[in-house]
Every structure is written in C-alpha cells, then in structure tokens.
Structure 1
Amino acid sequence: MKNSAMFWVAATTLALVVVTIMVTMDFPFNWVFYMTVIGQTMIVYMVYKVLTDEYTTDKTFKDFYEDHPIGNRVN
C-alpha cells in the first residue's frame, strides 16, 4: 500500500493534537518532549511528501472555485 501525502498530513495532525492533550493532562515532561520531537520530525517528512507527491489535475486558474465558477457568470 502506497503512503500518500494525505496520510502523513492526517498522522502528523493527530500526533500534534495528542501532544497538546498530553500537555493539558500534565503528562511527564519526557513523554511530552519525545512526542514533540517525533511530531517535528513528522512535520519535516510530511512537507517532503506533500511537495514531492505526484498529484496531477486538469484544473486551471480559469476554473477558480468549483462552487462559484467565474466562467459561467450572468450579470
């Protein structure tokens, strides 16, 4: 199974939310510290995966927002 960029975005977000919960619940400093280091490493890897992901689309700037297209406006 290929790990997509969106998997890493979700996993990193979850890890950093867990760090926030751990701080709020007064977990021991070493647990919070190591989770923070792991989270920061995940951020670097996530950025790499997002920037090197082979995602292609046929959309252009002319398509603008899909929920409010510019091309079909009636004034």
Structure 2
Amino acid sequence: MKVPAMVYVAITTLLLVTVTIMSAMNFPFNWVFYTTVIGQVFVVIMVYKVLTDNYQTEKTFDHMYEDRPVNPKDLGSLPEKRDQF
C-alpha cells in the first residue's frame, strides 16, 4: 500500500509541534531531545518522499499561482501595476 506524501508532511508537522509544546511545558530534557531527533529523521524522510512522489499536473508556470488562477490566454489582458503610479 502506497502512503501519500502528505501523510508524511502531516506526521512530521504534528511531531515537531509536539516538540514545541513539550519544551514549553518543561518536559524532561531526554523526552524533548529524543522527540527532536525523531522529528529530524522524519523531516529527512518527508523531504525524500515529497521529492520522489509521482505527482503530475496539467498546469504550467503560465497559470501563475493557485491563489489567483489565470488562464494562459488571459495573460495579455492583465493590467500592469507600474501604470497605476
């Protein structure tokens, strides 16, 4: 069974947030230290899994960013910001 790359991202994030909470609550040093070491190992695993994931998309850099999607054919009609000054 293949585990999606985002599962590794979620596990690593939760683990490192746990380290932050544990250090703020004055947990014993050995707990915080070993959790940090495990978190660093998970960061390396996460980066490897994300970079080797077989993710494909139809979008290109011509589509700009996800927060402001633009069709490639509409790029010529975008107003230039320097004309506003």
Encode CA deviations 1:9-62: one digit per residue, 9 max, x unaligned: 111011000000000000000000110000000000000000100000011111
Give the TM-score, by structure 1 length: 0.89
How do 1:1-75 residues align onto structure 2 when only pairs under 5 Å count? 1-66=1-66, 67-69=68-70, 71-72=73-74, 73=77
Q: Point out the structure with max Rg over C-alpha.
A: 2
Structure 1 runs (4+) deviating above 4 angstroms are: none
Larger RCO (CA within 8 A; separation ≥ 6): 1
- In 2, Cα distance between equivalents of 1:23 and 1:12: 17
Name the SS for the 1:71 alignment partner.
Answer: helix
Comparing both structures, which one devotes a greater share of its residues to strand?
2
Unaligned runs of 5+ in 1: none
Count matched residues.
75
Identity of matched residues, %: 60
Task: Report the TM-score, using the length of structure 2 for normalisation.
Answer: 0.79
